[in-house]
Structure 1
Amino acid sequence: MTQLFTRKEIEERNRKDNAAIIIDNVVYDVTKFLEDHPGGAEVLLENAGKDASRCFRDVGHSDDAKLWRGEFKIGEVVKEEQREVICQDASASSGENELTLRGFLEVWFPPTAFAVIAILAYVYLL
């Protein structure tokens, strides 16, 4: 059974010895992760006791980081206080890595064209 927290309860957890954050209505206890956080403990402490959903998305965490945060999940925000989730992680990344001809050309056309021009210039000048 998932433990439920009010936002008021989480607001009280804003210290180095008791830090929790909310990301997309899920509550994470980050107290033991403070020193291991790649971005430093400061960023977690600045968001401790708050909803860090926007901050988490804005930074652009890796898929590994999104999976890793599951280890720190301790519950969810009570239904009455839940906020709309702007961007679900799964739906946001579902089409990101899709290989398309357009994507291929956007990535490879400029360096290939530059290489062809460089070869033609080399042959012409020498």
Structure 2
Amino acid sequence: MSESFTAKQVAEHKDVDKGLYIIIDSGVYSLESFVDEHPGGAKILKRVGGKDASKQFWKYHNEGVLKKYGPKLKVGDLKEEAKL
């Protein structure tokens, strides 16, 4: 079963030591095991750690990349938070 995360929980995982998480659309992905394999380099992943990286991801990747790597990197989904 997939875990649910708030944006605040994802933000706590902003570096490799804390488990580098990013958000793509509504999915939460753990990248600490992938950071050294990323063809664009580790620096770009570390820059978006703990944040919603959807805009940056879709700018440089197509749907095939998410289909290929998503299943092994996805750790959960983003919870919908109440808007006050």
TM-score using structure 1 length: 0.59
Q: Which has the larger radius of gyration?
A: 1
1:61-99 per-residue CA deviation (whole Å, 9 max, x = no partner) reads 461x22212210000011226xxxxxxxxxxxxxxxxxx
- Residue matched to 1:111: none
- Return the alpha-carbon distance in structure 2 between the equivalents of residues 25 and 60 of structure 1: 16
Aligned-partner Cα distance in 2 for 1:61–1:30: 18
Match of 1:48 in 2: 49
Runs of 4+ in structure 1 deviating by more than 2 angstroms, as ranges, are none
Secondary structure class of the residue paired with 2:28: strand
How many equivalent residue pairs? 80
The equivalent of 1:21 in structure 2 is 22
Query: Which residue number in structure 1 is paired with residue 38 of structure 2?
Result: 37
Evaluate the alpha carbon distance shift between residue 34 and residue 79 of structure 1 in structure 2; reply closer, same or farther with a 3 A threshold: same
Point out the structure with the larger helix share. Answer: 1
Partners of 2:6 and 2:80 within 8 A in 1:
no
Q: Give the percent of matched residue pairs that are identical in Structure 1 and Structure 2.
A: 35
Measured on the aligned residues, the alpha-carbon RMSD in Å equals 1.4
- Greater RCO, CA 8 A, separation 6+: 2
In structure 2, runs of 5+ residues without a counterpart are none
Paired with 1:80 and 1:30, the residues of 2 have a C-alpha distance of 24
